[in-house]
Each structure stands twice: as structure tokens, then as C-alpha cells.
Structure 1
Amino acid sequence: MSVALSEPVMVFDIETIPDVASGRRLLGLEGLGDEDTAKAMFQLRLQKTGSEFLAHHLHRVVAISVVLATRDQLKVWSLGGPESDEAELVRRFFEGIERYAPTLVTWNGGGFDLPVLHYRSLLHGVSAPRYWDTGDDDRNFRYNNYLSRYHWRHLDLMDVLAGFQMRANAPLDEVASLLGFPGKMGMGGAQVWGAWLAGDIQGIRHYCETDVLNTYLIYLRFEHLRGRLSPEGLAREQTRLAEMLAAASQSHLQAFLAAWQGASASST
């Protein structure tokens, strides 16, 4: 049983808004402004499926946040800057995979984040050979790659913890809160479009970062659950994260640490 993480781990989450440019073109909504186009897209989707949640290919990525954990490094940040366009965000994400070949960790990444990134990388002409490798270039990827649902190079915690049974899926916010972690902070996914319209891209990025922090904390608990982190290793990694947050200057990271410490105190 390890007392430390043995390989690079990249926990990530994306935030999206309606791809109104594609919506106008594909759904015959020419002449409408962005807000009205989005309303029409939501309504058409509701009529078709009973839910306003848009099809994956009609989501535009506006934030990708990451926790990168190696033996020597632990950091949380959002890729690019507030001014970065979608193509840059997607390119930077896949460049990280090319550089580190990390274990990817998500919450519902197999059901949402990665399919969206597939369509958006296709749209923007982003090349990602290591991500798409299934053993032709690196034999180690033949039986453990990013694409197979049952491999471990991409660990979708929601899917794995549910035993790959959709009826057993649980929301990130509830599982995080159940375990004494902060859960959702600042906003929820349904509020991202409104925040974008209000020009609050920084708020979206901060919200996305708190989501990956929750996911990382659950991941550490899961690594202990499956015997890859000893109790001492789990405590060490949690302490390392708390120290990183304590040293951070950003108010949302300080707020996350305070909420985590408060939740932990109230559960003891």
C-alpha cells in the first residue's frame, strides 16, 4: 500500500455554454441574438427530449479547470486566461496529456466532459495522438487507455462508484458533502450561462476550480478505498492539499479551505 501518489494525476472539469453560432446554423435560427438563440435551443431540446440539456456537440467550452498532482507538485488552476478562446483551452488540455500522460480523473467525464471535448477538438482541428492511442503507438496503452470505459487511465469516479449502473449515479455535490467536503460553491452548472451573459468569466473559472478540488478529495478517498493509499498516505495527501490552499492568495481557494475545515469540524 503506497504512502504517496505514484504517478501524475490530472483531475479536470469543464464548464460550457450553448454554442449559439452552431445552433443558429444547424437549427435554422438565423437572425436571432445570442440570448434568444439559446432560449430557442433550450426550448427545442425540451420539446424533443423532455429536458433542456443540450446535445453534447452544441456545448461550447468556456473553462477547463485542473488539479495536477505529482510526487513533487500539487496545483489547481484554470487553463489559459479569462480572455482565451475555446480553441486555446482545448489545445492546452490535450497538450497536458501529451506532456504528462497522466491518469485522468473526472466526475461524469465519460458521460459529458470528454465527449464534449471530442467534438470541440474536432471542430478546432486539435491533434491529440496520445489521448487517442489504443496501443498502436505505445503498447502500454493497449490494455489501459483513455478511451475504454473499463480501463483506469481515465477514472470516471461517478461511473466507477455506481458500478457502471446509471441508476446508481450520484451528484458530485451530494457525495462531496456526504464525505465532509465543501460541495458546490459560488454557483451551479445551470447558472453558468447567466454568469457568462453577465460577463463573469472569472466567477465561472473559480466555480470550476472548486469542483475539481471536490473531485480530487473524493479521488484520494477512493485511492484509499481500493488500497492504493495507506491511511498515512491519505492523511499526507490531504494535508498537502490543505497547505497548498492555505498558501494561495485567491479568495475562492481560501473560502474552499475554510468550508472544508468547517465541514470536517462539524462531522467530528
Structure 2
Amino acid sequence: MRHETLWCLDIETVPDGDLVPADWPSDQFIAKAIWHRVVAISVVEASVEHVPGRGERYEVRCCRSGGEAGWDERRLLQAFWKRFAELRPRIVSWNGRRFDLPTLRLRAMMYGISAEAWYATGDRWHGYTHRYSSEWHCDLMEELADHGAATRLGMQDVAVAMGLPGKVGGHGSEVAEMVARGDLEAVRAYCEGDVLNLFALYARWALLTGLTDGAGHNAAMDSLASCLAASRAERPHLGAFLDRWQSSPRPAPALVPLPKPGLAGSGLERSTQG
């Protein structure tokens, strides 16, 4: 199966008060995925084109969060797994094999929601459930750490090193407070910031590993910048991400040099100078 859609995915959660014991240490909360109530599911969705001899091409379609801010967890999960079954995209995550996807599956099981497409797609050797099938589910944290052979890094560490904004609009430790005060839109915006970083990191990893070439990498970055610029008026946090990205002082260009000049339009090409 050749995937035609890419989802860079992240979720935000809060403790499920019905499951977490009152005296449970807060620093051990993340150890049990089923104790997490999902409050936001965000993706950068991109098309995947396979160009013979040149590798893959990714074009950003949108950055969005599932459903609406007022939806409860059951409705969010139903919509997520329904859309997943329709598209069967390649999933890109950061620590997603350990946290995001187990949480989405376990909480779906709790509500009696089917995630059949996750388990039934692929074959004996390749599929979403196979740890090393990065063409199905690429846990970028695991890939960069050689599945534990090297030190696992936080996405913030790698994003900042690459000149990306990193965390915007808060921190994961602040999500519960946002939810408590009813500011679900802030949670969704924060989650979208993470998947924007994740898409840019995946494009650079795809270049590193030969999945794409320099032209494909730059086209992916330009498509992300164009998406952010087009969404600025209605969704200011996306424009703010773009501004911080373009003004980064880090000596890590958004675009990589090509054998022949070209690829203009988003303004990011300025980062290759000097």
C-alpha cells in the first residue's frame, strides 16, 4: 500500500478523575495511557506524491484539530477513528507508539469504538502495528534515537536546534488548567503548534533518510509556510508560528541549497542566504 495522505499527529489529555486514584503521584500520571482523557487531537494533513527517481513529495493541505472545542471525548474519538478508516494515512508522531496511539486506542476501547482499520490494514510484516514500519507509523522520536540505541530527545530539543519555534502557546503541564477554565481553543491552538513543528521535522528527516530530495524538502517547507500565511487572518496563532519561524536566529536554514536556484514564493528562501 502506498499512502496518499500523511498525518502529523499529536493529542492533549487531562487526568480522568474517575480512574486516577486521588493519592496517585502526579509525576507518574503519564505511565498509564488509559488514565488520560483526550481533550484535543490535532494534525497537519499533507498529500503524499511518489515521484519515480526523486522520492516522495509532501504538500500541506491543512493544520486542524478534530471536531469542535465543545465536543466530548467520545465524539472526538468516534470522529477520529472514522476519518482514519476513510483515509488510512501514514501517521507521524513524537513518542506516539508509547503514548498518543495507545491512548487513542485504549480510550476508544473503553467507549466501545472500533479502531479496526489500525489493526486490519497491511500484512504480516508491514502495518500500523509493526514497530519498525515507519512507512505506516513513523514515531520520529524513536527513529532519531535508533529505537533506544541512542538518547531519546524531546521534540522541543530538536525543533529549537532546527530553527523552529518549538512550544508555542503554553506547555503540556498547563493543559489541565486551560481545560479547567474552559479555554479549549487555547488547548487546540497549543496542540496545533506541536504538529506544525512535527511536520517540519519530518520533512527534514525525510531528506536525511532519502525519502525525499532537496527539492522535495523545500517544496514541503514552502507548502507549510503558504498554508500558515493563508490561515493567518482567521487563525492568528498559525501566523504567529510562521513569524517566529521566519525570524529565528538559529543558523539552521528552513530551506536547503539546491544545485540550481529556484523555489521562491513563501519568503522562507531568505533563510538559505549566508
Same fold (TM over 0.5): yes
Give the secondary structure class of the aligned counterpart of 1:142: coil
1:53 to partner: Cα distance: 3.6
Give the secondary structure class of the aligned counterpart of 2:4: coil
* Matching residue within 227, 238, 241 for 2:210: 227
Separation in 2, partners of 1:7, 1:107: 21
Tell me what 1:57 maps to: 34
The one-letter amino acid paired with 1:240 is S
Q: Is the 8 A contact 1:45 1:54 kept in 2?
A: no
Q: How many residues are paired up?
A: 239
* Matching residue within 132, 137, 149 for 1:150: 132
Q: Is the 8 A contact 1:221 1:234 kept in 2?
A: yes
- Going from structure 1 to structure 2, the CA distance change for 1:6 and 1:233 (only over 3 Å counts) comes to farther
Give the secondary structure class of the aligned counterpart of 2:11: strand
Q: What TM-score do you get using the length of structure 1 for normalisation?
A: 0.83
Larger strand share, 1 or 2: 2
1:151 to partner: Cα distance: 1.2
- Going from structure 1 to structure 2, the CA distance change for 1:198 and 1:54 (only over 3 Å counts) comes to farther
Q: Is the 8 A contact 2:63 2:192 kept in 1?
A: yes
Tell me what 2:18 maps to: 21
Q: Is the 8 A contact 1:45 1:53 kept in 2?
A: no
Give the secondary structure class of the aligned counterpart of 2:18: helix
Tell me what 2:64 maps to: 77
Root mean square deviation, CA, Å: 2.0
Separation in 2, partners of 1:53, 1:91: 23
1:167 to partner: Cα distance: 6.0
Tell me what 1:30 maps to: none
1:149 to partner: Cα distance: 1.0
The one-letter amino acid paired with 1:115 is P
Tell me what 1:255 maps to: 240
Separation in 2, partners of 1:110, 1:6: 19
**1:19-44 deviation per Cα after TM superposition (whole angstroms, max 9, x unaligned):** 01233xxx4xxxxxxxxxxxx3xx42
1:52 to partner: Cα distance: 4.8
* Matching residue within 24, 38, 46 for 1:44: 24
Give the secondary structure class of the aligned counterpart of 2:202: helix
**1:17-74 deviation per Cα after TM superposition (whole angstroms, max 9, x unaligned):** 0101233xxx4xxxxxxxxxxxx3xx4235xxx6454521111000000111015761
* Matching residue within 114, 127, 136 for 1:127: 114
* More displaced 10-residue stretch of structure 1: 57-66 or 161-170: 161-170
Superposition pairs of residues 83-98 of structure 1, within 5 angstroms? 83-98=70-85
Separation in 1, partners of 2:131, 2:3: 22
1:92 to partner: Cα distance: 1.7
- Going from structure 1 to structure 2, the CA distance change for 1:155 and 1:171 (only over 3 Å counts) comes to same
Give the secondary structure class of the aligned counterpart of 1:202: helix
The one-letter amino acid paired with 1:154 is H
Separation in 2, partners of 1:114, 1:176: 22
Superposition pairs of residues 174-253 of structure 1, within 5 angstroms? 174-248=157-231, 249-253=234-238
Give the secondary structure class of the aligned counterpart of 1:116: helix
Give the secondary structure class of the aligned counterpart of 1:151: coil
Instruction: Give the share of equivalent positions with the same residue, in percent.
Output: 35
Q: Is the 8 A contact 1:131 1:146 kept in 2?
A: yes
1:6 to partner: Cα distance: 6.9
* Unaligned 5+ runs, structure 2: 49-58, 253-273
Separation in 2, partners of 1:168, 1:73: 30
The one-letter amino acid paired with 2:241 is F
Separation in 1, partners of 2:154, 2:250: 23
